[in-house]
Homo-oligomer: A and B are copies of this chain.
Amino acid sequence: MKSFVSVDSVENINALVDDALEIKKNPHVHSCLGKQKSLCLIFLNPSLRTRLSSQKAAFNLGLDAAVLDVGSQGWQLEFTDGVVMDGDKAEHIKEAAAVIGSYFDVVAIRAFAKLEDRDQDYSEQILTAFQKYCPVPVVNMESSTAHPLQALADVITIEEHKKKAKPKVVLSWAPHPKALPQAVANSFSRWMQVVDYDLTITHPEGYELAEGVVGQAQVEYDQQKAFEGADFIYAKNWSSYADYGKVLSRDLNWMITADKMKLTNQAKFMHCLPVRRNVVVEGRVLDSDSSLIIPEAANRVTSMQAVLKNILEGLN
């Protein structure tokens, strides 16, 4: 693997997942792979799991890691070509990415959607600029439209807990007080289909994901009907793609409840976290035996480690 920016970066997902499951059994077996190599973790947005799991993955690989919070520790970056830089932005991505890429062997970047301009967000301006100007492999730690490290952790988690070869997986929209990006839902939908699970997406009207994201998934506007026979319920809020970035509904009837979980085939509950208790999902679902949220989050170390291992092997 050269870079890891979306599901399209992965030649063979099954092989990557198998590798991840092996890594999880013995996380320190590749502790010399990162020797004399270094990783830069760049955050344009807050992070808890991604920040910590990425550092832990680096520790496990013996890889030196430096963290940069661009906004608070550095300065604002300019992403537009040809501009006269007489405003607030002190440095162009052309220079910043090239310099960082001259220091480190791998660069990982987190940069959320701004939810103001769909075309701009879906052009993946920041991630694309890093790929273009940074001469070393780039890892997507959640971009405007994708969160493939989360989706890989989700696949690992489902592989560990599924009871049939092709489980029914339901991606359910859920209410949230704020407007959130579509990145997690996008990547989840795409990865579920590439690994060939039986995917249903359920959400209120107006919350349709982009066409290329939905692919062959079933779309069901009746949440309860969608839950029938489900093996995994994956809850996530996102803002509207059609009416871009808008919150069209905060309807608590879409909250995942213990009662709705009873409609399923004893489904496991998943969420990428952070999760709003009693808004997105009832606390008692999170606290029940059916919840996989903690092992799912723990698999973020495994997914990052599998990706970094793959990239490091390509460097040597």
**Does A92 count as interface, using CB distance less than 8 angstroms?**
yes
Chain A interface (Cβ < 8 Å from any Cβ of B) = 28, 31, 36, 38, 40, 43, 46-49, 51-53, 55-56, 59, 64, 66, 68-70, 72-75, 78, 81-87, 90-92, 94-96, 98-100, 102-104, 177, 273-279, 283, 286-287, 293-295, 297-298, 301
| For the complex of A and B, 5 pairs with smallest distance between CB atoms | A91-B274, A102-B298, A85-B276, A59-B64, A55-B66
- A68 CA / B69 CA spacing, docked (Å): 12
Instruction: Report the separation of the CA atoms of residues A83 and B278 in the bound assembly, to the nearest whole angstrom.
Output: 7
The count of identical subunits is 3
Interface SS majority for chain A: mixed
Q: Please name 8 pairs of A and B residues whose Cβ atoms are closer than 8 Å in the assembled complex, sorted by A.
A: A46-B74, A46-B75, A48-B68, A55-B64, A84-B278, A95-B275, A95-B293, A99-B298
What is the CA–CA distance of A72 and B78 in the complex, to the nearest angstrom? 22
Q: In the complex, A94→B82 CA distance in Å?
A: 48
Task: Tell me the bound Cα distance from A95 to B270 in angstroms.
Answer: 13
Q: Are B66 and A52 touching (Cβ within 8 A)? A: yes
**Given the complex of chains A and B, what is the CA–CA distance between A236 and B74 in angstroms?**
19
Supposing A68-B51, A94-B286, A102-B294 touch, asked if A28 and B36 sit within 8 A by C-beta, the answer is: yes
* Neighbour of A84 across the interface among B36, B51, B279, CB < 8 A: B279
Distance in angstroms between the alpha carbons of A46 and B74 in the assembled complex: 5
Closest Cβ neighbor of A89 among chain B residues: B276
Q: Which residue of B lies closest to A102 (CB)?
A: B298
Give CA–CA (A276, B94) in the complex, Å.
Answer: 11
- Whether B85 contacts A278 by the Cβ 8 Å rule is yes
